[in-house]
């Protein structure tokens, strides 16, 4: 349990909850607590899916800019790598992960949302990468994950301009996956991942690894990765249960083994 980030578990779903009022600004402490929460969620076999949530008012409105005003180049050489790896730890959670976004997801907050598999967005929320307005660029995956998600031209539009996009535009360009009233964001995120709690955990892990890993390599290498992961699932109890249940015309009871 961190000071600003905590991992709550209920019904097989882990919620990584940011709680640094008023805007959940991502400072060094939050960064490291995010890393710890993501590592804990990855290691806990009782957690089958994860929701990243900033609360009813705001997801995360970016980095703590007060830490940047006096930062030196030498300091940021070490800090930038640690920030990137902390957000990457969220992206590497080997389970389905959804961001539940209310209020604002800007800068580092948007990069945290991009590290998730899906984004459920409040109908009055604003998302964006405004770093260029500070004479900077996104430094925790924004230039890479945003371009992979919505395409390079749209990513350049958002990053070059630093403008915020509303929920409707976010949905249209593929930045949001679902848009709901703010009061329904967290419940909708839970509903999205709840079916995975009783799903085949090892197959879901392999599917996520194949998709994410394949995006970073050529097609032949991606196909080789897929084949390797596909074959490995034949050593699991869930594969036996899934195929047997299909033949016997019943619902499978997966155990995650």
8 is catalytic: no
Q: Break the chain down into helix, strand, coil percent, rounded to 5.
A: 55, 15, 30
Residue of 56, 67, 131, 241 marked catalytic: 131
Residue of 111, 168, 226, 241 marked catalytic: 111
CA gyration radius, the chain: 19
- Sequential DSSP letters for 187-236: HHHHHHHGGGGGS-HHHHHHHHHHHHHHTTS-HHHHHHHHHHHHHHGGGS
111 is catalytic: yes
Q: What is the distance between the alpha carbons of residues 2 and 21, in angstroms, rounded to a whole number?
A: 14
Q: What is the distance between the alpha carbons of residues 79 and 94, in angstroms, rounded to a whole number?
A: 25
The residues, any chain, with a CB within 8 Å of residue 236's CB and separated by 6 or more, are 200, 202, 203, 257
Residue 107 and residue 163 in contact, taking contact as beta carbons nearer than 8 Å: no
Active site residues: 111, 131
């Amino acid at each position: 349990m961190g000071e600003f980030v905590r991992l709550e578990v209920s019904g097989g779903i882990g919620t990584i909850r940011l709680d640094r009022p008023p805007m959940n600004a991502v400072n060094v402490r939050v960064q490291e607590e995010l890393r710890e929460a993501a590592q804990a969620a990855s290691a806990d076999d009782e957690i089958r899916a994860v929701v990243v949530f900033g609360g009813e008012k705001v997801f995360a409105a970016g980095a703590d800019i007060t830490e940047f005003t006096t930062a030196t180049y030498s300091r940021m050489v070490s800090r930038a790598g640690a920030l990137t790896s902390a957000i990457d730890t969220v992206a590497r959670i080997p389970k389905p992960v959804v961001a539940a976004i209310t209020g604002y997801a800007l800068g580092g907050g948007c990069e945290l949302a991009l590290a998730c598999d899906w984004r459920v967005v409040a109908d009055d929320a604003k998302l964006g990468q405004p770093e260029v307005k500070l004479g900077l660029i996104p430094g925790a995956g924004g230039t890479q994950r945003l371009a992979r998600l919505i395409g390079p031209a749209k990513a350049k539009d958002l990053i070059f301009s630093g403008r915020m996009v509303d929920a409707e535009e976010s949905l249209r360009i593929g930045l949001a996956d679902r848009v709901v009233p703010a009061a329904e964001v967290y419940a909708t995120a839970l509903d999205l991942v709840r079916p995975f709690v009783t799903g085949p955990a090892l197959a879901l892990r392999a599917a996520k690894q194949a998709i994410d890993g394949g995006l970073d390599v050529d097609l032949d290498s991606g196909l080789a990765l897929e084949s390797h992961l596909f074959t490995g699932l034949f050593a699991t109890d869930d594969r036996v249960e899934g195929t047997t249940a299909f033949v016997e015309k019943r619902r499978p009871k997966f155990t995650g083994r």
